[in-house]
């Protein structure tokens, strides 16, 4: 960033340096871009991150293993369930714990509902950033109902703190299964309604198709994950290719960008992969509710969690892509090191390289298509 | 300390409902009534007649004219301002419905008085001029915008004889004074000394000036068909029934209608062409640094322009105030020889005003509806649409119209054939569209989740 400002000296006068953020309506949190433009066309955009850094990983070294669980919610507050799950799995690996099947199934259900909720924000905010405010409100209306369901399950609507080391906090309440199934019946038709509302709108498609194309190789090189990686045509999903929890028992497809309206890897592909993923999440949730095993929801966990010295890495498929937790234990009741690998952070790195030649309005589409969440970038 | 919020009232008190309904009905009636009453009376000929009838010395003519002009200016400025206030409320209510939320519902019944609350709020805000802004230009910019908006009311017709003055170059006058708006916007963008404002101002300049070309050329189509530039003359060349409107009487006019409507949307900075103030891109564009009254002026113009653009399109293509089965000449004949017109003449004028207002408000609704449905185009797509599609289409329409008029002079029947044909097509499309909307609404209501026992 500093080098960018220094390099402004002696640059032609017709170029402009714009501080895009940190307070800007479409930076999805507190995020700053230094944008060099020649009129509407960007020379390049450099993301400046760190406005939301809260040293969460350092906090993980100061509190007990279960005590860090509420903090993981704050890593990605739009899809907090995955941050819970990743951390729980990592500590369970350290403890060599077997999680009861019912807890595994509840984890899968809660995560898939959370994925739908997160993707609804993603696609809604995308439409809002492109200039159509109605789809965002419609998506948030659906998310409210989902939040009701998750609230009935775990008592919270945003920062769930539902998963525990060794299982989940609560079993599902009476009648919850039917409510979820009833909602999913509605939701499957809602996706089509949303598609009719905005996905196939000619202006919307023109704004997103063939914009900010990321090739498969570039996506892999920059470490893009999740829908961003799949939007570039890479068929990779941790749930299927490195399965964890209950996922091996479910039947689902992994949507991959095929150039739905333009080139493979354009902003529209990243958008539409999310639309398709929501349908798959609904499918997984139905299967999980049907095949739900009976039994405990918590493994026998010692009152004071003190893993043996060692290290563990967990990988989960978060709504924003592959999320990894790396936890080192030194044998005490506090972790020696906790590290989270998040999708939004790596997505930031590619922006500088694909921004040259894009227009200022395309930068908005690009950020929105990555579905970045600012706290997940900085942690 | 727990905060004690007063629980929301179960239902709106009856007094508030009555006051709101009275205001909602009274404001349009008052202003349209004043327009109906004053515009024919304050014409020079009528003033002369009234003065000589009252036995006043003719040397008072000039002061009377000046006074009449002031009254008319006050009336039209207030009409524009109040209309733009009411339509902000209406837009927010419609947007609420479209977005499955309630919309404003606090100030008055149905939130009708929110535009007054907004105005009070804006007037009470600090009037901020940024430190490094060009203070003079920054302060001047809103007045350019308001002037460009208010001047259009000089020739905008409201009914059969209800127009401030029927300039013989009316259409050109409108296109030239509306260009003042872009001057104001460009000045505001430059004088704010903010990069976002500059972006917005330059976008607005590029957009409005580009779209004036297809708008200007497509206006030639009704001009060529009517053979006059006067707004009233163009309406008089049309008729009250749909197949007598210019939009259906000529295949090229139908295209020109869409070209003009699109261009007017772009000139009024409405979605999908709201690039100059694109919230998600430019924060607030040229408005970024404005606050208080100046900001209110920009917004007044933005919503007031909805009336202006709808009224222009209604005038040029949709038959204006023409009443079905009643010819303009028949109303002319009712006027009588007296200084003041006869009662029947007033009555038909009121009907013509109702027709014109209904058509214009229908178009206003279309504009609002578009805004809450469509995304925004990108700046290069906006320019591409203008120069690659609309400008050639407008020129083609103009040239076609010239040949069409030659053909009409040989075989006048083709106008009727085209008019009836396109009217039938339009009605069929409207019915199909309404059915589709009905089906969509039904489909959604079938899926509605009952949240009462959730």
Measured CA to CA, the distance from residue B156 to residue B40 in angstroms comes to 14
Question: Rounded mean pLDDT of B376-390?
Answer: 89
Measured CA to CA, the distance from residue B319 to residue B323 in angstroms comes to 9
Q: For position A42, what pLDDT does the model report? A: 85
- Domain identity same for B132 and B222: yes
HSE-CB of A95 using CA atoms within 13 angstroms: 25
**Which region among B104-108, B167-171, B432-436 has the lowest average model confidence (pLDDT)?**
B104-108
Q: Highest mean pLDDT range out of A31-35, A257-261, B270-274, B368-372? A: B368-372
Measured CA to CA, the distance from residue A231 to residue A251 in angstroms comes to 21
- Domain identity same for B135 and B254: yes
The residue of chain B with its CA nearest to that of A15 is B195
**pLDDT greater than 70 at residue B190:** yes
- Domain identity same for B68 and B140: no
What contacts A180, CB < 8 A, 6 or more positions away?
A109, A113, A149, A285, A289
Given a contact cutoff of 8 angstroms between Cβ atoms, the answer to whether B282 and B288 are in contact is: yes
Q: Would you list the DSSP string of B129-178?
A: --TTS-HHHHHHHHHHHHHHHHHGGGT---SSS--S---TTHHHHHHHHH
- Domain identity same for B294 and B215: yes
Element spanning A17, H or E: strand A16-20
Q: For position B107, what pLDDT does the model report? A: 80
> What Rg, from alpha-carbon coordinates, does chain A have?
21
Element spanning A287, H or E: helix A267-290
Specify the pTM.
0.84
**pLDDT greater than 60 at residue B137:** yes
Cβ contact B376–A131 (<8 Å): yes
Domain count, chain B: 3
The tokens for B25 are 């009905």
The tokens for B421 are 């044909």
Element spanning A19, H or E: strand A16-20
Given a contact cutoff of 8 angstroms between Cβ atoms, the answer to whether A191 and A289 are in contact is: no
Measured CA to CA, the distance from residue B152 to residue B172 in angstroms comes to 11
Q: How far is A26 from chain B (nearest CA, A)?
A: 5
Measured CA to CA, the distance from residue B263 to residue B16 in angstroms comes to 41
- Domain identity same for B295 and B271: yes
- What pairs with residue A48 in β-bridges? A32
A33 Ramachandran zone, left/alpha/beta (phi>0; psi -120 to 50):
beta
Given a contact cutoff of 8 angstroms between Cβ atoms, the answer to whether B305 and B152 are in contact is: no
Given a contact cutoff of 8 angstroms between Cβ atoms, the answer to whether A111 and A173 are in contact is: no
Q: For position A36, what pLDDT does the model report? A: 83
Q: Three-state SS for A294?
A: coil
Measured CA to CA, the distance from residue B178 to residue B267 in angstroms comes to 9
Hunting for tokens 């008085």 — which residue is that? Answer: B113
**pLDDT greater than 80 at residue A102:** yes
| B197-247: pLDDT as tens digits | 888 888 888 888 889 899 989 998 999 888 888 888 888 888 888 888 888
Given a contact cutoff of 8 angstroms between Cβ atoms, the answer to whether A232 and A264 are in contact is: yes
Measured CA to CA, the distance from residue B245 to residue B240 in angstroms comes to 7
- Domain identity same for B216 and B285: yes
- Each domain of chain A, given as residue ranges in start order, spans 2-48, 56-377
Grade residue B5 by pLDDT with cuts at 50, 70 and 90: low
Measured CA to CA, the distance from residue A233 to residue A260 in angstroms comes to 11
Residues in chain A: 379
Q: How far is B209 from chain A (nearest CA, A)?
A: 17
The tokens for B119 are 């105005």
The contact set of A with B (CB < 8 A) is 16, 18, 24-26, 39-40, 127-134, 137-138, 141, 145, 148, 179, 182-183, 186, 189-190, 193, 196, 198, 201, 203-204, 206-207, 359-362, 364
What contacts A285, CB < 8 A, 6 or more positions away?
A108, A109, A112, A113, A180, A184
Give the helix, strand, coil percentages of chain B, each rounded to 5: 75, 0, 25
CATH of domain A56-377: 1.10.645.10
- Domain identity same for B356 and B389: yes
Q: Which of A202, A130, A205 is nearest to A364 (CA)?
A: A130
- Domain identity same for B173 and B269: yes
Q: Is B4 within a domain?
A: no
Q: How far is B230 from chain A (nearest CA, A)?
A: 37
| A245-276: pLDDT as tens digits | 888 888 888 888 888 888 888 889 999 999 99
Chain-centre distance for alpha carbon A138: 20
Q: For position B454, what pLDDT does the model report? A: 42
Q: How far is B286 from chain A (nearest CA, A)?
A: 15
- List the A16-20 sheet strands across, edge first: A16-20, A32-38, A41-48
Residue percentage of chain B with pLDDT more than 90: 10
Hunting for tokens 């091996």 — which residue is that? Answer: A248
- Domain identity same for B314 and B345: yes
For A234, A235, A347, B259, the CA distances from A220, given in Å and listed in that order, are 8, 11, 11, 46
| B287-298: pLDDT as tens digits | 888 888 888 888
Show the domain range for B25: 12-124
- Please give the mean pLDDT across all residues of chain B: 84
- Domain identity same for B324 and B398: yes
Q: For position B452, what pLDDT does the model report? A: 45
Sign of the four-CA dihedral B399, B401, B404, B406 = negative
| B143-184: pLDDT as tens digits | 889 998 888 988 888 888 888 888 888 888 988 888 888 888
Grade residue B392 by pLDDT with cuts at 50, 70 and 90: very high
- Domain identity same for B75 and B163: no
B443 contacts in A (CB within 8 Å)?
A: 189, 193
What contacts B154, CB < 8 A, 6 or more positions away?
B76, B164, B165, B167, B173
Sign of the four-CA dihedral B239, B243, B245, B249 = negative
| B83-103: pLDDT as tens digits | 888 899 989 888 888 887 778
Q: For position A285, what pLDDT does the model report? A: 92
pLDDT: which is higher, A15 or A345? A345
Cβ contact A360–B199 (<8 Å): yes
- Domain identity same for B188 and B253: yes
| A154-184: pLDDT as tens digits | 888 888 888 888 888 888 888 888 888 888 8
Nearest residue, CB atoms, A359 vs list B100, B202, B378: B378
Q: Is B3 within a domain?
A: no
Q: Which of A325, A295, A269 is nearest to A126 (CA)?
A: A269
Q: Is B6 within a domain?
A: no
ipTM for this model? 0.80
- Please give the mean pLDDT across all residues of chain A: 86
Cβ contact B374–A359 (<8 Å): no
Measured CA to CA, the distance from residue A91 to residue A305 in angstroms comes to 9
Interface test with B, best of A17, A34, A133, A204 (most B CBs within 10 A): A133
Q: How far is B252 from chain A (nearest CA, A)?
A: 24
Strand A321-329, strand A310-318: pairing: antiparallel
The tokens for B155 are 């020739």
The tokens for B42 are 């304050």
Q: How far is A364 from chain B (nearest CA, A)?
A: 7
The per-type count for chain A, helices as H runs and strands as E runs, is 15, 8
Element spanning A13, H or E: none
Q: Highest mean pLDDT range out of A1-5, B20-24, B272-276, B398-402? A: B398-402
Measured CA to CA, the distance from residue B242 to residue B216 in angstroms comes to 24
The contact set of B with A (CB < 8 A) is 95, 98-101, 195-196, 199, 202-203, 271-272, 274, 278-281, 283, 372-381, 440, 443-444, 447, 449, 451, 454
Domain final position from B124, B145, B178: B124
Q: Which of A278, A328, A280, A356 is nearest to A93 (CA)?
A: A328
Q: For position B139, what pLDDT does the model report? A: 87
Q: Three-state SS for A45?
A: strand
Taking the C-alpha atoms of A202, A206, A207 and A209 in order, what is their torsion angle to the nearest 10 degrees? Answer: 120
For A60, A68, A375, B96, B301, the CA distances from A56, given in Å and listed in that order, are 6, 9, 10, 40, 49
**DSSP-assigned letter for residue A298:** B
Q: Is B139 within a domain?
A: yes
Measured CA to CA, the distance from residue B168 to residue B149 in angstroms comes to 20
**pLDDT greater than 70 at residue A59:** yes
Question: Rounded mean pLDDT of A35-47?
Answer: 83
Question: Rounded mean pLDDT of A20-36?
Answer: 79
Give the helix, strand, coil percentages of chain A, each rounded to 5: 50, 15, 35
For A10, A343, A356, B248, B346, the CA distances from A7, given in Å and listed in that order, are 7, 30, 16, 61, 73
What contacts B70, CB < 8 A, 6 or more positions away?
none
Q: What are phi and psi of A214, to 5 degrees?
A: -115, 120
Grade residue B453 by pLDDT with cuts at 50, 70 and 90: very low
Q: For position A116, what pLDDT does the model report? A: 92
Grade residue B50 by pLDDT with cuts at 50, 70 and 90: confident
Question: Rounded mean pLDDT of A338-346?
Answer: 87
**pLDDT greater than 60 at residue A5:** no
């Amino acid at each position: 960033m500093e080098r960018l400002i220094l390099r402004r000296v002696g640059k032609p006068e017709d170029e402009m340096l714009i501080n895009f953020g940190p307070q800007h309506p479409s930076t999805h949190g507190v995020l700053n871009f230094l944008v060099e433009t020649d009129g509407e066309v960007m020379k390049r955009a450099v993301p400046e991150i760190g406005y939301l850094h809260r040293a969460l990983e350092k906090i993980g070294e100061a509190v007990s293993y279960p005590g860090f669980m509420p903090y993981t919610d704050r890593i990605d507050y739009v899809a907090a369930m995955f941050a819970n799950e990743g951390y729980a799995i990592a500590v369970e690996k350290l403890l060599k714990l077997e999680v009861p099947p019912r807890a595994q199934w509840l984890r899968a259900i809660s995560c898939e509902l959370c994925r739908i909720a997160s993707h609804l924000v993603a696609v809604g905010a995308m439409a809002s950033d492109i200039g159509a405010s109605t789809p965002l409100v419609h998506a948030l209306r659906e998310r409210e109902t989902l939040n009701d369901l998750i609230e009935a399950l775990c008592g919270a609507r945003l920062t769930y703190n539902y998963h525990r080391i060794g299982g989940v906090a609560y079993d599902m309440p009476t009648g919850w299964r039917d409510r979820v199934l009833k909602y999913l019946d509605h939701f499957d038709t809602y996706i089509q309604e949303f598609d009719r509302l905005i996905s196939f709108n000619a202006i919307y498609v023109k704004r997103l198709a063939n914009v900010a194309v990321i090739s498969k190789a570039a996506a892999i090189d920059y470490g893009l994950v999740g829908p961003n990686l799949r939007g570039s045509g890479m068929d990779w999903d941790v749930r299927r290719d490195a399965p964890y929890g209950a996922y091996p028992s479910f039947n689902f497809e992994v949507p991959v960008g095929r150039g739905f309206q333009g080139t493979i890897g354009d902003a529209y592909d990243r958008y539409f992969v999310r639309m398709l993923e929501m349908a798959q999440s609904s499918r997984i949730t139905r299967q999980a509710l049907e095949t739900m095993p009976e039994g405990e929801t918590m493994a026998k966990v010692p009152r004071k969690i003190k893993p043996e010295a060692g290290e563990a890495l967990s990988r989960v498929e978060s709504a924003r892509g592959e999320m990894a937790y790396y936890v080192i234990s030194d044998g005490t009741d506090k972790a020696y090191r906790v590290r989270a690998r998040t999708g939004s952070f790596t997505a930031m790195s590619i922006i500088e390289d694909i921004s040259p030649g894009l227009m200022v309005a395309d930068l908005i589409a690009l950020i929105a298509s990555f579905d970045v969440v600012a706290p997940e970038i900085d942690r | 300390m727990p905060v004690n919020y007063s629980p929301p009232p179960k239902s709106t008190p009856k007094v508030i409902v009555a006051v709101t309904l009275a205001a909602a009905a009274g404001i349009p009636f008052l202003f349209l009534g004043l327009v109906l009453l004053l515009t024919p009376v304050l014409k020079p000929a009528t003033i002369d007649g009234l003065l000589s009838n009252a036995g006043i010395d003719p040397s008072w003519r000039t002061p009377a004219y000046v006074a009449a002009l002031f009254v008319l200016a006050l009336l039209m400025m207030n009409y524009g301002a109040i209309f733009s206030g009411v339509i902000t409320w209406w837009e927010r209510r419609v947007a609420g419905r479209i977005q499955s939320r309630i919309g404003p519902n606090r100030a008055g019944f149905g939130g009708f008085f929110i535009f007054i609350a907004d105005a009070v709020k804006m007037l009470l805000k600090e009037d901020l001029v940024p430190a490094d802004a060009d203070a003079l230009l920054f302060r001047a910019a809103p007045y350019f915008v308001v002037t460009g908006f208010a001047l259009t009311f000089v020739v905008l017709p409201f009914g059969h004889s209800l127009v401030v003055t029927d300039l013989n170059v009316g259409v050109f006058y409108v296109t030239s004074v509306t260009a003042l708006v872009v001057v104001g916007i460009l000045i505001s963008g430059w004088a704010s000394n903010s990069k976002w404002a500059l972006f917005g101002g330059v976008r607005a300049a590029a957009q409005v000036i580009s779209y004036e070309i297809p708008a200007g050329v497509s206006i030639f189509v009704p001009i060529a068909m009517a053979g006059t530039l006067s707004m009233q003359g163009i309406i008089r060349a049309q008729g009250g029934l749909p197949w007598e409107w210019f939009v259906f009487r000529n295949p090229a006019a139908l295209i020109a209608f869409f070209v003009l409507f699109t261009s007017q949307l772009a000139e009024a900075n409405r979605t999908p062409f709201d690039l100059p103030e694109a919230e998600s891109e430019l924060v607030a564009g040229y408005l970024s640094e404005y606050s208080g009254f100046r900001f209110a002026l920009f917004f007044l113009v933005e919503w007031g322009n909805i009336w202006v653009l709808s009224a222009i399109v209604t005038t040029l293509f949709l038959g204006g105030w023409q009443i079905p089965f009643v010819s303009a000449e028949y109303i002319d004949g009712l006027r009588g020889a007296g200084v003041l017109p006869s009662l029947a003449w007033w009555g038909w004028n009121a009907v013509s005003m109702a027709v014109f207002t209904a058509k214009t408000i229908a178009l206003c609704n279309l504009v609002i509806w578009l805004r809450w449905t469509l995304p925004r185009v990108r700046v290069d797509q906006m320019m591409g649409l203008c120069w690659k599609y609309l400008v050639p289409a407008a020129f083609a329409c103009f040239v076609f119209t010239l040949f069409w008029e030659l053909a009409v002079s040989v075989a006048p029947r083709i106008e009727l054939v085209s008019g009836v044909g396109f009217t039938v097509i339009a009605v069929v499309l409207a019915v199909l569209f309404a059915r589709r909307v009905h089906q969509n609404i039904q489909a959604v209501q079938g899926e509605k989740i009952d949240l009462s026992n959730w």
